[in-house]
Amino acid sequence: MSPEIITNYLERKASESPDILHVKDSASGQAFFVIDDPYDLNEFDKALRSVAKSPAMLFELADGVIDDQTNASYLNTVNCSFMVIDKKGDFEKISDCRNRCYAIGKEIIKAILKDQRQMNIIPDKMIQVPLRTNYSPVGPMDVRWYGYQFTLEFVGPDGFCG
């Protein structure tokens, strides 16, 4: 398991979501963006300008841990977060926009937990996603974008040591 695999997996979840409607490798269907440097606000601006459809999903890798468990088996823990954001309508309340994004994020988490049970995060590998998901409201971004950020932890085998 690697950060790249988790990034690709979450992009797949964005593509499968009936609300996000992300189309991979399509300029007119972009609704998933990787934020490489969360301290660089230009990345957020670029992602918001590039959104072809809303709501959208912004993904950020945080950190991780490789653990030898004091035996021959190694675990890799990848910590990450994703934001579900949407444009607030002209006469819409901020809370309505955020509530919509929260519901979408919760559906994505439910889909991830289903994949965990069916071993579909990485096919035929036992990847755990402990349900300790923190969430917090985000926005405003670029005046009209609001939503929620969700944090996740993926724990799985790492065969880097043979």
What pLDDT, on the 0 to 100 scale, is given for residue 69? 65
Q: Is residue 110 part of a domain?
A: yes
Q: Is residue 33 part of a domain?
A: yes
Q: Is residue 145 part of a domain?
A: yes
Cα separation, 6 vs 13, whole angstroms? 10
User: Residue 68 belongs to a domain with what CATH number?
Assistant: 3.30.2000.30
- By residue range, what is the domain housing residue 78? 3-156
Beta strands in 16-55 (DSSP E): 32-34
Q: Is residue 161 part of a domain?
A: no
Asked whether residue 160 carries a pLDDT value surpassing 60, the answer given is no
What pLDDT, on the 0 to 100 scale, is given for residue 7? 92
Enter the tokens of residue 108: 């994505």
Q: For residue 93, give the DSSP letter.
A: -
What pLDDT, on the 0 to 100 scale, is given for residue 79? 92
Strands ordered across the beta sheet of 32-34: 32-34, 56-67, 75-87, 145-157, 135-141
Q: Is residue 78 part of a domain?
A: yes
Enter the tokens of residue 57: 């999903």
pLDDT digits (tens, 9 = 90+) for 118-138: 999 988 888 889 888 899 999
Enter the tokens of residue 68: 């030898």
Cα separation, 42 vs 30, whole angstroms? 18
Q: Which long-range contacts (CB under 8 A, 24 or more apart) does 122-131 make?
A: 122/1, 122/5, 122/9, 122/156, 125/1, 125/156, 125/157, 126/156, 126/157, 127/1, 127/154, 127/155, 127/156, 128/154, 128/155, 128/156, 129/153, 129/154, 129/155, 130/155
Question: SS3 of 151, please?
Answer: strand
What pLDDT, on the 0 to 100 scale, is given for residue 52? 62
Question: Structurally, how many domains does the chain consist of?
Answer: 1
pLDDT digits (tens, 9 = 90+) for 24-71: 777 667 888 999 888 888 888 888 887 766 899 999 988 888 777 666
Q: Is residue 101 part of a domain?
A: yes
pLDDT digits (tens, 9 = 90+) for 78-113: 999 999 999 998 999 999 999 999 999 999 999 999
